[in-house]
Structure 1
Amino acid sequence: MNLILETDRLILRELQLSDAEAFFAMDSNLKVHQYLWNKPVQKIEETIEIIASVRKQYIDNGIGRFAMILKETNEFVGWAGLKYNTEVVNNKVNFYDIGYRLDEKFWGKGYASEATFTWLKYAFETMNIKTMEAAAHTNNAASNKILQKIGMQMTEQYLEDGVSWNWYQLENENYNLG
Structure 2
Amino acid sequence: MTRNIFLETDRLLLRAWEETDIEPFAEICADPEVMRYFPDVMTREKSEFLVSRCVDKQDRDGFCMAPVEIKESGEFLGFVGLNRPSYAAPLPFEPCVEIGWRLKQSCWGKGYASEAANAWLRFGFETIGLDEIVAFTIPANNPSRRVMDRIGMRRDPDGDFLHPSLPADHPVAPHVLYRLSKHDWISQQGE
TM-score, with length taken from structure 1: 0.90
1:94-152 Cα shifts (integer Å, max 9, x gaps): 21000000011111111000000110011001111011111021111110010011111
Note the C-alpha offset of 1:89: 5.0
**SS of equivalent to 1:85:** coil
| CA distance in 1 between partners of 2:47 and 2:23 (Å) | 8
Is 2:74 the counterpart of 1:74? yes
**SS of equivalent to 2:83:** strand
Whether the 8 Å CA contact 1:131–1:170 is kept in 2: the answer is: yes
Q: Give the match for residue 132 of structure 1.
A: 133
Distance 1:31 1:89, change over 3 A: farther
Whether the 8 Å CA contact 1:14–1:65 is kept in 2: the answer is: no
Instruction: State the identity as a percent.
Output: 29
* Residue ranges of structure 2 left out of the alignment (5+ in a row): 186-191
Whether the 8 Å CA contact 1:20–1:51 is kept in 2: the answer is: yes
Q: Give the match for residue 32 of structure 2.
A: 30
Deviation beyond 6 Å, 4+ runs, structure 1: none
Q: Give the match for residue 99 of structure 1.
A: 100
1:35-72 Cα shifts (integer Å, max 9, x gaps): 011x1112x23222111111010122221111000112
Distance 1:18 1:129, change over 3 A: same
Distance 1:141 1:8, change over 3 A: same
Q: Give the match for residue 172 of structure 1.
A: 182
Q: Which amino acid aligns with 2:136?
A: A
TM-score, with length taken from structure 2: 0.84
Q: Give the match for residue 189 of structure 2.
A: none
**How many correspondences in the alignment?**
173
* Higher strand content, 1 or 2: 1
| CA distance in 2 between partners of 1:46 and 1:143 (Å) | 22
Give the 5 Å matches for 1:132-171.
132-156=133-157, 157-160=160-163, 161-162=168-169, 163-171=173-181
| CA distance in 1 between partners of 2:179 and 2:71 (Å) | 30
Whether the 8 Å CA contact 1:86–1:95 is kept in 2: the answer is: no
**SS of equivalent to 2:156:** strand
